[in-house]
Amino acid sequence: MDWEGGRLLLPFLQVVFHLYPPLGLVSSSGPLDLSSWHCSFSGTCECDFRPDLAGLECNLAVNLVGQQLARELLMKGLKGFVHNPSPEKPLVMSFHGSSGTGKTFVGSLLVPHLFRSGLRSPYVHHFSPVVHFPHAEHIEQYKNDLKNWIQGNLTRCGRSLFIFDDMDRMHPGLVDVIIPFLGPSWVVFGTNYRKAIFIFISNAGGEQINQITLDFWRAHKDREEISLKDLEASVYKAAFENPQNGFWKSGIIDQHLIDFLVPFLPLKQHHVKRCVASELISRDLEPQPDVIQAVADSIPYFPAELKVFSATGCKTVTSRVPFFL
């Protein structure tokens, strides 16, 4: 059915649903899924939350390089959560890894697969300390604002997504405000706050992840063999026991508020080359092997004597490409 048809149907459906609330139709998934039609055009029900996990999985498989573990954990977290009509607590995921490994990239990539209007959705909130909370002296104001924003937005739509980027640069006091929303107990005025998704992103634990990935490499083991168990304890220690970190003393660990720790591994040169190729293709250029090699060679690698992993992931690829054309 096309969009035009939908526009014509809309007033009709609104009347029908007003008279006959679609209780029995909520889980219908036949050729004419009336509940999702209603939601998509009137902006009610689950707001514009329209999870398409198969599409997300496919997009990640094609566009995210070298992060199999992160991909698996992310999908596992979302699969168990998005189709659950009454989750016990909000979904809380924390992305960790060094710079340029794809954390912010994944945070943006998943949005259009969860919300119909993608990054423009009014139910997707992206916070970065540098942009939203830059001045330490205004911390009390920020705390107040942030609490009201989360609460206000969750009241408007329980299926909201909050992404907190660069957590390691966030004032620790701000996390205190977020914590009450992450647990199971927050149900106010009949609003179910347990349907929300929170994603925290930080570089914290990145050095530990890099070290462990390097140890695997030294032991001639595949990076695909690295499991969450191998990383978890050191990442938690580095990220949450560090006074420089936004999570410091927040109780986020003691209260078991994080459902999924999602580690991003350092990228090798062949991963960087794939980033360069994508960058060339996105500029409508031929992905020429010599150009790809030259860009990849221009990036710093660590450890200094072995040059195994990119020190900046794929972060500087976009800005480097023009110099090699």
Ligand X SMILES: *[C@@H]1O[C@H](CO)[C@@H](O)[C@H](O)[C@H]1NC(C)=O
Ligand Y SMILES: Nc1ncnc2c1ncn2[C@@H]1O[C@H](COP(=O)(O)OP(=O)(O)O)[C@@H](O)[C@H]1O
C-beta of residue 114 within 8 angstroms of C-beta of residue 81 = no
Q: How far is the CB of 153 from ligand X (least distance, A)?
A: 4
Instruction: Report CA torsion sign: 166, 168, 170, 176.
Output: positive
Nearer to ligand X, 149 or 216 (CB): 149
On whether 77 is known to bind a ligand per the annotation, the reply is no
Q: What is the DSSP letter of 26?
A: T
What is the smallest separation between the CB atom of 156 and ligand X, expressed in angstroms?
Answer: 5
User: Running DSSP on this structure, what letter comes out for residue 29?
Assistant: -
Check if the beta carbon of residue 242 is closer than 8 Å to that of residue 248. Answer: yes
Contact residue for ligand X among 35, 67, 121, 153 (CB under 6 A): 153
From ligand X, Mg ion, ligand Y, none, interface partner of 100 (C-beta below 5 to 8 A by class)? ligand Y
Give yes or no for a contact between 66 and 265, defined as CB atoms under 8 angstroms apart: yes
**Does residue 319 have a known ligand-binding role?**
no
Supply the DSSP symbol for 286. -
- Distance in Å, CB of 181 to ligand X, minimum: 13
Q: Which residues of 29-52 are buried (b: 16+ CB within 10 A; e: fewer)?
A: eeeeebbbbbbeeeeebbbbbbbe
Q: 299 φ, ψ to 5°? A: -90, 145
Choices 144-152, 172-180, 272-280, 300-308; region in contact with ligand X by CB under 6 A:
144-152
156 touches ligand X (CB under 6 A): yes
What is the DSSP code (8-state) at residue 185?
-
288, 278 Cβ separation under 8 angstroms = no
Residue 94 as a binder of Mg ion (CB under 5 A): the answer is no
Pick 149 or 324: Cβ nearer ligand X: 149
Q: Is 324 in the site for ligand X (CB under 6 A)?
A: no
Binder to ligand Y among 17, 37, 49, 105 (CB under 6 A)? 105
Cβ 274 to ligand X, closest distance in Å?
Answer: 33
Told to check if 266 binds ligand Y by CB under 6 A, we report: no
In the complex, least distance from residue 103 CB atom to ligand Y, rounded to whole angstroms = 3
CA-CA distance, 61 to 287, in Å (whole number)? 20
Q: Which of 51, 100, 158, 263 binds ligand Y (CB under 6 A)?
A: 100
* Burial group, residue 202, by CB count within 10 angstroms (0-12, 13-18, 19+): buried
Which C-beta is closer to ligand X: that of 41 or that of 149?
Answer: 149
DSSP 175: H
Please check if 316 is assigned to a binding site. Answer: no
Query: Which residues of the shown chain bind ligand X in the complex (CB under 6 A)?
Result: 125, 148-149, 152-153, 156
Query: Which residues of the shown chain bind ligand Y in the complex (CB under 6 A)?
Result: 63-67, 97, 99-105, 275, 313-315
Query: Which residues of the shown chain bind Mg ion in the complex (CB under 5 A)?
Result: 104
